[in-house]
Every structure is written in C-alpha cells, then in structure tokens.
C-alpha cells in the first residue's frame, strides 16, 4: 500500500465540512490501532474518500499516510466515487443528501452509466478496474433505506430551490426538514417552468442566429429566476417564523408553568385609568386607546400593530402609525369589519378558525406556505417574527392576556400597549414581571 506525505494530498473545495465528533473518535482509534482503512486518492493525489481520517491524522501530527491510489479517467469518475463515499458512509442533512442525489444522476447521465443485469463494476481503458457501482441513484437510495417517493422529493428539492435560497437554508434547522424544504422548492414553480422554457427557446434562437430573440429570452430567464427567488425567500421566511413561533410557544408555556403561585399576590400591581407604566423598554397605558392620550405616546415608525376587533372599533388610525396592521377576528365578524373599516386591505390569513386581516399603505408580500399554528400566543409570535425585526416597535391597543407584551420581550421588540380595563392591564403587567423577574415602574404624573 503506497505511503505519501500528508502535505501532498489535495482537498477539493467542494468537500463537505468535517464532523468534529467523528474526527475525535477517529483520532483515538488511529492513535490506538493505527489507520485500519487507508484513504483513497487519484493519480494526482486529489482526495477521493477519507477526509475525516486525513483530518484526524493531521491532528495527531502524522507526516505520512497510507493511500489507496485509483486512476480515474476524468473528473466525473472521481466525483462519482466521492459522492458514493459520502452517501453510503456519512449522515447527511436532507438538503445536502438531495443535492448529492441530483449531482450523481447528472454525472451518470453524462457518463452513460446505467445498470445492467449482472453488472457490478466499471472497467476503464488500459485494464484498470475501479469499484464504481453503475446502479441508478434511486437504486442506491433504496439500498440505504430511502423510498422512491423520498428520492423523487429529494431531487425536486435539489433541482427547484434557487441556489441563493439554498445558501440561506444551509446551517439552519430548516435544512433538516424535508417537508419544509419541499414547500420552499414548490414555491415559484411556475416561474421555474417559465425559466426552463425560456432557456430552451434561447438555445434555439442561438442556433438560428436570431440575436433579438436570444436577448428577449435571456431577459425572460432573468426575470423568472428573480421572481422565483423572491417567492422562495418568502416561503423560507414564513417557515422560519412558524418554527420560531412554535418554539416560543413551548418556551412560554414552560415559563408560565414555573411561575410560583404565592408570588402572584405580591407582584400584582394596582393599576388605575390614566396611568402609564414602564416595563423595561415597553410602555403600557391604561385607558381608551383610540384617544389622543394613547396616540401621543406612540412612536412614528412602528413596524407592526396587532389588534382584535371590538364592538367599539375606532382604531383605523393604526394604519398611519405602523407599516403593517394585523387585525384578528372570528369568522362571524369578517364581513362587517371589511364593510366598515377604512384601512387599505392587502390580504387575509386564515389560521385554524382565526381570520387575520393584513392592512398597509405599502405592498406587503403574502406568506407562500400554509400556516399551522395553534393558539393566540402562537399566532402573535408568528406575526411578530414575520413582519418585524429585532428592536422594531410594535403597537397593541388591547392587552388581552399579555401575549404581545411577552412575545415582544422575548423576541427583542419594543411594545406600546394599552387597554381601557385596569384589570387586564394589571394582569399583563404582572405576567411580564413574573416572566422577567423585573419590577414594573409607574410613571409619575407631570
């Protein structure tokens, strides 16, 4: 078995990152037993398989390493062997595995490799033989436990998600969710089809020497790809907000469960109409929230206002105070509210049996994927995640059970909240105190 200097081995830029835990395990094994399985390189000492073993050897300070040298005809054969090594030996995220499946199929197509009865190897010119299973990728996937449906969805994910969106997904929890990846892949599917059709028309125009048609089709491709990317980014943002909302709801429920009951009496403030309270960075007002007293407290550049329909709705002014206004209501209130409100309507979201009207003076993109959230607190967390960023202002003219206040505190937003009920304000302030373990401060009258 050839032994070569570790420093001579070349590592390709497309190699997947090493797993630190796996490298540490290999270090201990190599230190105790030596290198039991040599790495594989091509005739130019380009690494084909064994990056973790090579990394462990370097960390142990070894200067040389045993290699299995294989002579490949071209880069496709070398890359195919590397992909097979990763697919068979390594645990991969769904996005990464899908990309390898698609790339492997593309290589097999270029090389003309297709399985035949009894085939189990590929023979190169000059008599050199390498173990390259010419099986189709779907057959290889089945061997390691993936169904035909999973494989087809994987190829759709790898082929349909815009490259820039893939980079946004990698390293996030979404990269490990095939269901979410498939939703993102299917967003902008019409635009992807248009781009593919335009690509075929462009190639035909180039063959015919039609410069005008070539330019037109090239522009269509650019516009379709741009639109597809925009739609997939929206789907990605929606999925991230939904995941964050679910995690926030679970965390919030755990926090509430940990509240010690005897502390409630000691922490509950006595709130009166007309008072203003500071809760960290948040401001809470007790009184009618459609009056100038509350409106004068509001910032001029709020990102979001969240309100619920009331029998005395007088809050159309919110559209001039926040970029986006989200109004929550039940099914029976939908028609009457649309009929009477004077805010510019953008679209409606339906979450379980809750209708959420989105209003804005601006054009607001609608989430592309269905929203599966339960409970008011989950909805509030989703809205804040999707329509705001850290340190943005959020307005709420109704206290409710303090859902918006707690979500703003947890997510790093600054809330301006009011309610005409001293009891609801007191309860909301108390909940914030219990959640943060900080005291609220009543503002002194001027």
The structure tokens 């880069």 sit at 75
pLDDT score of 293: 93
- Residue 430 to residue 357: CA distance in whole angstroms: 30
Q: Which residues contact 223 (CB under 8 A, 6 or more apart)?
A: none
- Residue 30 to residue 21: CA distance in whole angstroms: 14
Q: Cβ(407)–Cβ(381) under 8 Å? A: yes
pLDDT score of 272: 93
pLDDT tens digits, one per residue of 354-409: 889 899 999 998 888 778 888 889 999 999 999 999 999 999 999 999 999 999 99
Q: Cβ(420)–Cβ(289) under 8 Å? A: yes
| DSSP state for residue 10 in the 8-state scheme | B
pLDDT score of 132: 47
- The DSSP-derived string for 53-77 is HHHHHHHTT-SEEEEEEE--SSHHH
Burial (CB count within 10 angstroms: exposed 0-12, middle 13-18, buried 19+), residue 375: middle
User: Which H helix or E strand runs over 128?
Assistant: none
pTM reported for the whole predicted model: 0.53
pLDDT-flagged residues of the chain (< 70): 13-18, 72-75, 88-91, 112-135, 137, 140-141, 143-144, 257-267, 331-336, 445-446
pLDDT score of 233: 93
pLDDT score of 416: 97
pLDDT score of 129: 41
Burial (CB count within 10 angstroms: exposed 0-12, middle 13-18, buried 19+), residue 322: buried
pLDDT score of 123: 42
Q: Are strands 39-42 and 354-359 parallel, antiparallel or unpaired?
A: unpaired
pLDDT score of 322: 96
* C-alpha to C-alpha distances, 128 to 64, 122, 402, nearest whole angstrom: 26, 9, 73
pLDDT score of 420: 94
């Amino acid at each position: 078995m050839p032994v070569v200097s570790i420093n001579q081995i070349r590592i390709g830029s497309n190699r997947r990152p090493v797993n630190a835990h796996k490298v540490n395990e290999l270090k201990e094994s190599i230190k105790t037993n030596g290198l039991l399985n040599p790495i594989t390189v091509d005739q130019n000492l380009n690494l084909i398989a064994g990056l973790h073993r090579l990394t462990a050897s370097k960390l142990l300070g070894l200067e040389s390493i045993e290699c299995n040298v294989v002579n490949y005809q071209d880069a496709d054969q070398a890359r195919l062997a590397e992909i097979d090594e990763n697919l068979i030996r390594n645990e991969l995220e769904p996005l990464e595995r899908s990309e390898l499946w698609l790339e492997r199929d593309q290589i097999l197509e270029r090389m003309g490799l297709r399985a035949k009865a009894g085939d189990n190897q590929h023979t190169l010119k000059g008599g050199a033989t390498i173990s390259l299973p010419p099986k189709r990728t779907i057959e290889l996937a089945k061997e390691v436990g993936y169904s035909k449906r999973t494989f087809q969805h994987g190829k759709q994910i790898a082929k349909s998600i815009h490259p820039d969106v893939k980079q946004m997904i990698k390293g996030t929890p979404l990269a490990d969710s095939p269901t979410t990846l498939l939703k993102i892949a299917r967003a902008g599917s019409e635009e992807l089809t248009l781009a593919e059709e335009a690509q075929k028309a462009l190639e035909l125009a180039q063959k015919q020497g039609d410069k005008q048609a070539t330019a037109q089709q090239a522009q269509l491709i650019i516009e379709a790809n741009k639109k597809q990317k925009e739609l997939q980014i929206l789907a990605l943002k929606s999925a991230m907000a939904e995941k964050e909302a679910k995690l926030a709801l679970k965390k919030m429920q755990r926090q509430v469960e940990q509240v010690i009951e005897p502390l409630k009496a000691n922490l509950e403030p006595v709130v009166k109409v007309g008072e203003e309270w500071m809760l960290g960075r948040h401001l809470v007002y007790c009184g009618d929230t459609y009056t100038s007293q509350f409106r004068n407290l509001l910032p001029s550049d709020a990102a979001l206002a969240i309100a619920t329909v009331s029998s005395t709705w007088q809050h159309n002014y919110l559209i001039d105070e926040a970029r986006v206004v989200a109004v929550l209501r039940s099914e029976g209130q939908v028609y009457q509210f649309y009929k009477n409100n004077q805010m510019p309507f953008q679209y409606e979201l339906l979450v379980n049996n809750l209708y959420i009207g989105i209003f804005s003076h601006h054009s607001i993109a609608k989430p592309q994927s269905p929203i599966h959230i339960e409970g008011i607190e989950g909805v509030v967390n989703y809205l804040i995640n999707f329509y705001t960023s850290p340190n943005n202002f959020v307005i709420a003219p109704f206290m409710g059970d303090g859902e918006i206040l707690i979500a703003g505190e947890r997510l790093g937003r600054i809330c301006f909240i009011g309610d005409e009920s001293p009891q609801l304000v007191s309860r909301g302030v108390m909940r914030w105190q219990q959640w943060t373990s900080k005291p609220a401060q009543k503002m002194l009258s001027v």
